[in-house]
Amino acid sequence: MAPGSEQTHFGYESVPLEDKQRRVDNVFHSVARRYDLMNDLMSGGLHRAWKDALVTAINPPKSAREFTVLDLAGGTGDVAFRVVAAGGSGTRVIVCDINADMLTVGRERAAERGLDGVVSFEEGNAEELPYPDRSFDCVTIAFGIRNVPRIERALAQAYRVLKYGGRFLCLEFSSVDIPGLEALYALYSFQVIPRIGEIVAGDREAYQYLVESIRRFPKPQAFAHMIEAAGFRRVSHTPMTGGVVTSHSGWRL
């Protein structure tokens, strides 16, 4: 490590900031083909309900009115497909992900569904979005913000590309807030999930990292302050499923 190198965390490990993105990319390269199956197994299918709640908050118009969503780190298209199904003919989604393997899976799934014309998949870094200012009606990120090396930069970029009156919505794993459940959740996270990853995806280490990254992520109130610091207003957060997941919201006003 070079003297003075800025540090961040890859799970519980302290690493040079410039190394984190490469290592995160390797994780998702490894699990891309089994990512959605693993989400089902790890959450008992609950991730579907969480994402449906996200789409309800997006509330795309059921009309021909133009409404464009930027879905960050949504490579497999899971959220994007839900958004276009809920919206009208004017709804479009751009999925922006830094990982080419995840995007390949998403494009294949879009083609199978005949959604090539309404959902596009573009490679890009959430810290340096390749889009003009005030381009989108809504920016979303589901279970991806904790993998961004510089979260503050990603939030600032989300703010920049939102239109005035646009909304930022984020789903992220959080801290269980039900007494007695926390210990059970920790046991499941650190003992069961990596084992599932080993059996189903053939990569225990990737899922060990994903579990550790959840524990390293800021508490909901602290993350809400980060959203506010990026310029968003009417910032709020709502715990879901006993605090396993938190839904965050902020508006560009």
Cα 146 from Cα 212, distance rounded (Å): 10
Cα 136 from Cα 76, distance rounded (Å): 20
Question: What pLDDT, on a 0 to 100 scale, did the predictor assign at position 2?
Answer: 44
Per DSSP, what are the bridge partners of residue 142? 171
Paired tokens of 218 = 């800021």
Per DSSP, what are the bridge partners of residue 89? none
| Beta strands 7-10 and 13-16, pairing class | antiparallel
34 Cβ contact partners less than 8 Å away, ≥ 6 residues apart? 200, 201
Cα 121 from Cα 60, distance rounded (Å): 19
Cα-trace Rg, the chain: 18
Output the tens digit of pLDDT for each of the chain's 253 residues: 444 446 444 444 454 555 555 665 565 555 566 667 767 777 777 888 999 999 999 999 999 999 999 999 998 899 999 999 999 999 999 999 998 888 999 999 999 999 988 999 999 999 999 999 999 999 999 988 988 889 999 999 999 999 999 999 999 988 777 777 777 777 777 787 778 778 776 777 777 777 777 778 889 999 999 999 999 999 999 999 888 899 999 999 9
Domains of the chain: 34-182+215-251 (3.40.50.150)
Q: Residue 167: left if φ>0, alpha if ψ -120 to 50, beta else—which one?
A: beta
DSSP 174: -
Q: Name which of 148, 152, 154, 146 is nearest 70 in CA terms.
A: 154
Cα 247 from Cα 18, distance rounded (Å): 29
Q: Name which of 3, 140, 151, 153 is nearest 67 in CA terms.
A: 140
Can you spell out the DSSP letters for 64-106?
SS-EEEEEET-TT-HHHHHHHHHS-TTEEEEEEES-HHHHHHH
Question: What pLDDT, on a 0 to 100 scale, did the predictor assign at position 10?
Answer: 43
Cα–Cα distances (Å) from 211 to 194, 197, 208, 222, in that order, read 8, 11, 5, 19
Confidence (pTM): 0.84
